[in-house]
Amino acid sequence: MPKKENLSPETRALIKAQISRRGLIAGAGGIGAVGLLAACGTKSSDSVKSAVDVSDTEKLARWANWTLYLDYDSDTNKYPTLDALRASSGLEITYKEDVDDNNTFYGKVAGQLKLGKDIGYDIVTLTDWMAGRWIRLGYTQAIDEANVPNKANILPALANVGFDPGRTNSLTWQTGFAGFGWNKEKLPKGVRTLDDLFAPANKGRIEVLSEMRDTMGIIMQYQGVDISGEFTEDQFMNAIDFLEEKISDGFIRQVKGNSYKEDLISGDAIAVIGWSGDVFQLATENEGKFEFAVPESGGTLWSDNMMIPSTSTHKKNAETVMNHYYDPAVAAQVAAYVNYVCPVQGAQAEMEKIDPVLAASPFIFPDDAALSKVKVFAGLSPADETKYQSAFQKATGN
């Protein structure tokens, strides 16, 4: 795969002109949207004891993240911004793309968290609703702002969210939205509606996300439901019926997390409900072969968040990592690669030095028009989350 640095601004502009990408939480238009990101329940941080911090004697930090989510140089097989931090801090930082799906990752570590045993990570990166669960259950440690002065650079729209008021236990990593991704060679007319996605010719070659809020959110909006409001159980179950029908009829090949991208590359899938940054990166690395669009009926909006697990024994080192990535110059480097919305104030000015085309993109530094096309899935009570997630898992066979 070619490095993104080797692409000229003109080439990037051509690719980006073909791809309808992200429109996210920044500026005045994002404040109302982010306000909807409330997770159910309240904190219970007293229920779990945090581990003893040995950062002063063990210069180690361990980070679990999603795939395609940090600037990467394929010629050297290294992450430039991470290597820069290693050199400046003296920390040994292990970085693993271990998160493919929020529920799957939580299932792997929940038992250890409950028992207070080390899960092997000092930073985990999880989506709003799951981040809210961890914070509510006391599975995170409060961030020491003295160790993260760059926290002040967070976009105002992201600085105070329902699941973590004041951002005491989390920091936004990136934001993005879910919509349609497809192979332009196989589907030259594109995919703009759910009817386009489930066209007869696509049968057996469609994949949808295992993230309930994204897949169901897109289906529900197609059915005319406001997913950001107080929708009914019947409305949710109508969308479940639609999903079950498409699975039983053989239209949907698989329900997947981040790994759907490999199936797009191999050709096993030709169209997906997927994430904007993933599809854009695949397009950049495959000569514009793939395209992304927000559904005409509406896409979904989400954020992923860095948190320090209650079991982390390298808290201060983790905070050093967080602080590094909230430096505007570093944040701009990451955004230039991952192509999701950057949560850091000042990054747009730094992006001007890297790529003026990207700096002007409303999909990385979005405007109200981009924000108007997406909605945040409403916060759910613990009972509704269990009920709806169970129905989704039953429908998808997971």
pLDDT at position 150: 98
Is the pLDDT assigned to residue 250 strictly greater than 90?
yes
25 or 317, higher pLDDT: 317
Q: Which pTM value belongs to this model?
A: 0.74
CB of 150 closer than 8 Å to CB of 321: no
For CA atoms 20, 260, 240, 132, the dihedral sign is negative
User: What is d(CA 329, CA 351) in angstroms, rounded to the nearest whole number?
Assistant: 8
pLDDT at position 47: 53
Which helix (H) or strand (E) segment is 318 a member of?
A: helix 315-325
**Structure-token match 């996605």, residue found:** 197
| Cα 203 → chain centroid | 28
The DSSP secondary structure of 126-155, one letter per residue, reads EEHHHHHHHHHTT-B----GGG-GGGGGB-
Backbone phi, psi, residue 142, to 5°:
-65, 140
Backbone phi, psi, residue 377, to 5°:
-65, 135
Beta carbons within 8 Å of 200's beta carbon, 6+ residues apart: none
Structure tokens at 240: 């479940």
User: What is d(CA 225, CA 202) in angstroms, rounded to the nearest whole number?
Assistant: 25
Is the pLDDT assigned to residue 252 strictly greater than 90?
yes
Please check whether the two domains, 15-22+176-301+378-396 and 36-175+302-365, share a CATH topology.
yes
pLDDT tens digit sequence for 194-215: 999 999 999 999 999 999 999 9
pLDDT tens digit sequence for 119-176: 999 999 999 999 999 999 999 999 999 999 999 999 988 898 888 999 999 999 999 8
User: What is d(CA 188, CA 174) in angstroms, rounded to the nearest whole number?
Assistant: 30
Among 3.40.190.10, 1.10.260.30, 3.40.50.620, 3.40.50.510, name the CATH number for the domain at 15-22+176-301+378-396. Answer: 3.40.190.10
User: What is d(CA 141, CA 168) in angstroms, rounded to the nearest whole number?
Assistant: 9
Ordered by start, the domain boundaries in the chain are: 15-22+176-301+378-396, 36-175+302-365
User: What is d(CA 295, CA 224) in angstroms, rounded to the nearest whole number?
Assistant: 13
| Cα 388 → chain centroid | 21
Output the CA–CA distances (angstroms, integers) from residue 226 to 191, 232, 376, 388, in the order listed.
22, 10, 10, 16
Q: Please name which of 126, 81, 160 lies closest in space to residue 323, comparing C-alpha atoms.
A: 81
Helix axes 9-18, 276-285, angle to 10 degrees: 130
The partner residues of 181 in beta bridges, in order of sequence, read 272, 292
pLDDT band, very low/low/confident/very high, at 48 (cuts 50, 70, 90)? low
32 or 83, higher pLDDT: 83
- Reported CATH class of domain 36-175+302-365: alpha beta
Is the pLDDT assigned to residue 349 strictly greater than 60?
yes
Beta carbons within 8 Å of 210's beta carbon, 6+ residues apart: 101, 103, 104, 255, 256, 257, 396, 398
Helix locations, 67-168, DSSP H = 80-89, 102-115, 128-136
Give mean pLDDT, residues 353-372.
Answer: 84
For the chain, percent of residues with pLDDT exceeding 70: 87
Three-state DSSP at 185 gives coil
